[in-house]
Structure 1
Amino acid sequence: MIKSFMANGYKVFAGAPNFQDNTSQALSDLGVVTIEFPLQRTGLNPWKDLLSVLKIRNIIIKNEIDLLFPYTIKPVIYGSLAGRFTGTPVISLITGLGFTFSKSSIKARVLQKVTEVLYKLALSKNNAIIFQNSDDVALFREKGILNKNQNTHIVDGSGIHLERYPFRENNKVSDKIIFVFVARLIREKGADLFMDAAQKLKTEFPKAEFHIIGNIDNSPSSISPNRLSELNERKIITYHGFKKNVENYLTNSDVFVLPTYYREGIPRSILEALSIGMPIITTNTPGCKETVLRNENGILVEPKQLNELILGIRFFLENPAAIGPMGNRSRKLAEKRFNVDIINDMILKIINNNL
């Protein structure tokens, strides 16, 4: 997206907390000006959050910013407020509603109420608001976060770079099926459900492999590190930790599984799997259901339903010949709908038409 901005004549400033040296260098090499500002990823601390708004405001004024393009929950809320204080046009990108709208705990339900108020206040003066699925737009309107006159648009996720995740033919015929889960290791992403399914199926299908890629999260929703280690030692799952070269692991796997009940935009991990040509097992939830054409390139299961997830995995264990054709259909879907060039062109048109 940054490269697309610059190719179209924009000078880009990238603001974020805690830049790693390699990230900052990569952006600088592109000609991007990187600016750090304080932002807590989780929690609501009024004083610290107010400081974030003021810092963004100062960045806008100091650098004479003409357009603010914030995305993810906190940057959208605080960036939009800062843009409002400075009279700067804001076009925000809602990349999913996350834990706050998952209704998975009392804390999530309380946070949702607070976040609804903040969103309503922050978005009211935005030039445009871009969503990644129609369900999120509908929910914002239902909750009164958006008024009937607000300018909204929908794009199909953040898109996928098809050349970086190249298609590979997979004419699977053996019963050694490799399933892979890639996500933050929290309950809402379905990590526990994936491990439960592996435990249930491993005895009956000993050649099946269940791989997990991702970090143990420091949030209250994190899965148990002890359970993860135990299942890894018992060879029920294979845990790889965090990996930057995820495409290599996807290329060597057969079926992608994400039994999430987190409020996704459109999960990038699924887009990567589509591009490589993998069948998808995911949930019938906003953001995820857009990536699966039922029984054509994958299987949709209801959220939190372990038995449905087991049946979905079992289908591929009992029908390995279906993996190749379904994977081919996934790649076609990635090319037609989720190509990053298509998404970036749509976002640029929205920006140019709303400045």
Structure 2
Amino acid sequence: MKFAFFANTDWYLYNFRLSTALRLRNDGHEVVMISPPGNFGDRFAAHGCRWIPLVSMDRASLNPLREAVTLYQLTRVLRHKRPDLLHNFTLKCAIYGAIAARLARVPATVNAVAGMGYVFTSDTLKARTLRPLVKALLHTALDNERSLLVLQNPDDASAFGNTGLIAPDKIRVIRSSGVNTSRFQPPKRFPNRHERLRVLLAARLLREKGIHEFVDASALLRAWGRDVEFILAGTPDPGNPHSVNQEQVQQWADAGLVRWLGHVDDMPGLLKTVHVMALPSYYREGVPKSLIEGAACGLALITTDMPGCREVVTNDGVDGLCVEPRNARALADCIIRLDDDRELLLQLGHHARQKALRDFDERLVIQRTLDVYTELMNPLNGPSGAVRFMP
């Protein structure tokens, strides 16, 4: 069989879905990756996967002509490659991919949406203006007998189910895109009580990820005479209107508030050098990759009780610490608590690792994804191993 994966960046496909593609190839199937041009596309060839760049696609574009050209190009690719199943990732790709799949007569479609996205979570005029159009397009795209919608947490499943955009029995929940728990492992040496605490935030540099609160917490701890290192990994996202700009991040780094690493290829190596993974997000996440990678490495986690984040830290004080969103003081207090109590630091990391092994190992996630494919391609086999959403 032939499978096609379609996402709005080649970076996403390479970092989040390559393992699934390799499992399919090992099972004897062909996989084609489709995305706008980027710096990661050429890497697929080394893994035996074909990558096709959609030159016209710009994930931030609202130009009707450009969007029409993108849809036309995608439809042509699908007609030429003739996949048996198309798996679309992110909201925009779900819409375009589902429409193109119908035009190209692709037999089955899976639409995966991690988080509700800017249009549904922002209260800006632009987002509110786009929302009715996106809802109408989503309803058209998702209303297909041979398609399923995959979401990463029950909160999003409830939100989608309550909108009437899709029948609840067409929703499947697969928590996260998974983490390689063999590659992401705890360090062999644990920090002693005198070692300088190092706290990492690894994410796209969007305001809703709690970037400003992270920097403000650093400033507070410095004012209080605390010696804690704050590390920021990630780059601005020009395609998102809520991205922090590079000049601002550089100012924070120059002031000594954060050590900014930019994009990091070797995340397992970086995680072995830090003690805490913080994500003070006030954004509707799917299930944040940074949190499950930090959990797999046995780091203490600090996050908020927001959709997606609460899937990773489910019990405050046991498998992580929860802070109030948009509250730099609360974040600073949590970091001080871990700085002062290294036994708690180790306990939280141990429980986080156990949860990652139990719930987020990529082998489990990949198998649940393949179960969804099987359910669509062979409906007589019964429901998939993914959690069905029941209203």
Distance 2:132 2:279 in 1: 27
2:326 aligns to what SS in structure 1?
A: coil
1:286 is displaced (CA, Å) by 1.0
2:384 corresponds in structure 1 to none
2:318 aligns to what SS in structure 1?
A: coil
2:198 counterpart (164, 167, 178)? 178
1:21-67 residue CA offsets vs partner (Å, 9 max, x unmatched) = xx344322222221111321114222222222221111111112211
2:232 aligns to what SS in structure 1?
A: strand
Distance 2:131 2:139 in 1: 12
1:226 is displaced (CA, Å) by 4.1
Query: Which structure 2 residues correspond to residues 80-229 of structure 1 after superposition, within 5 A?
Result: 80-88=98-106, 89-125=108-144, 126-148=146-168, 150-169=169-188, 170-174=190-194, 176-218=196-238, 219-229=240-250
1:272 corresponds in structure 2 to 293
1:314 is displaced (CA, Å) by 2.6
For residue 269 of structure 1, what is the amino acid of its counterpart?
A: S
2:26 counterpart (7, 22, 30)? 7
Structure 1 length-normalised TM: 0.93
Distance 1:5 1:250 in 2: 29
Distance 1:103 1:17 in 2: 25
- Could you tell me whether the CA contact under 8 Å between 2:61 and 2:67 is conserved in 1? no
1:86-116 residue CA offsets vs partner (Å, 9 max, x unmatched) = 3321111112222222225333333333322
Distance 2:304 2:347 in 1: 21
Distance 1:51 1:120 in 2: 22
- Could you tell me whether the CA contact under 8 Å between 1:99 and 1:263 is conserved in 2? no
- Could you tell me whether the CA contact under 8 Å between 1:130 and 1:154 is conserved in 2? yes
Query: Which structure 2 residues correspond to residues 226-265 of structure 1 after superposition, within 5 A?
Result: 226-265=247-286
Pair 1:284-2:301 in alignment: no
Distance 2:82 2:241 in 1: 40
2:51 corresponds in structure 1 to 34
1:109 aligns to what SS in structure 2?
A: helix
1:336 counterpart (358, 378, 381)? 358
For residue 69 of structure 1, what is the amino acid of its counterpart?
A: H
For residue 82 of structure 1, what is the amino acid of its counterpart?
A: A
1:4 is displaced (CA, Å) by 1.3
Structure 1 runs not aligned, ≥5 long: none
- Change in 2 beyond 3 A, CA 1:104/1:256: farther
1:73 counterpart (87, 91, 99)? 91
1:8 is displaced (CA, Å) by 2.4
Distance 1:176 1:103 in 2: 38
1:105-149 residue CA offsets vs partner (Å, 9 max, x unmatched) = 33333333332222111111152111111111111112221134x
1:248 is displaced (CA, Å) by 1.9
Distance 1:238 1:224 in 2: 16
1:6 is displaced (CA, Å) by 1.4
Pair 1:297-2:319 in alignment: yes
1:330 is displaced (CA, Å) by 0.9
Structure 2 runs not aligned, ≥5 long: 1-19, 378-391
Distance 2:69 2:347 in 1: 53
Distance 2:155 2:192 in 1: 35
1:241 is displaced (CA, Å) by 1.8
1:240-293 residue CA offsets vs partner (Å, 9 max, x unmatched) = 222212222221111111111222111111111111111111121111110013
1:175 is displaced (CA, Å) by 6.0
Distance 1:255 1:55 in 2: 44
- Change in 2 beyond 3 A, CA 1:280/1:114: farther
1:279-311 residue CA offsets vs partner (Å, 9 max, x unmatched) = 111121111110013211211223223333233
1:346 is displaced (CA, Å) by 0.6
Query: How many residue pairs end up in the alignment?
Result: 352
Distance 1:222 1:103 in 2: 13
Distance 1:274 1:2 in 2: 24
More deviation in 317-326 or 23-32?
A: 23-32
2:330 corresponds in structure 1 to 308
- Could you tell me whether the CA contact under 8 Å between 1:2 and 1:12 is conserved in 2? yes
Distance 2:271 2:215 in 1: 18
Distance 1:317 1:189 in 2: 23
2:89 aligns to what SS in structure 1?
A: coil
RMSD after superposition: 1.9
Distance 2:278 2:326 in 1: 13
1:312 is displaced (CA, Å) by 2.3
Structure 2 length-normalised TM: 0.85
2:43 aligns to what SS in structure 1?
A: helix
Tell me which stretches of 4 or more aligned residues in structure 1 moved more than 6 Å. Answer: none
For residue 300 of structure 2, what is the amino acid of its counterpart?
A: P
2:72 corresponds in structure 1 to 54
- Change in 2 beyond 3 A, CA 1:236/1:36: closer
Identity across aligned pairs (percent)?
25
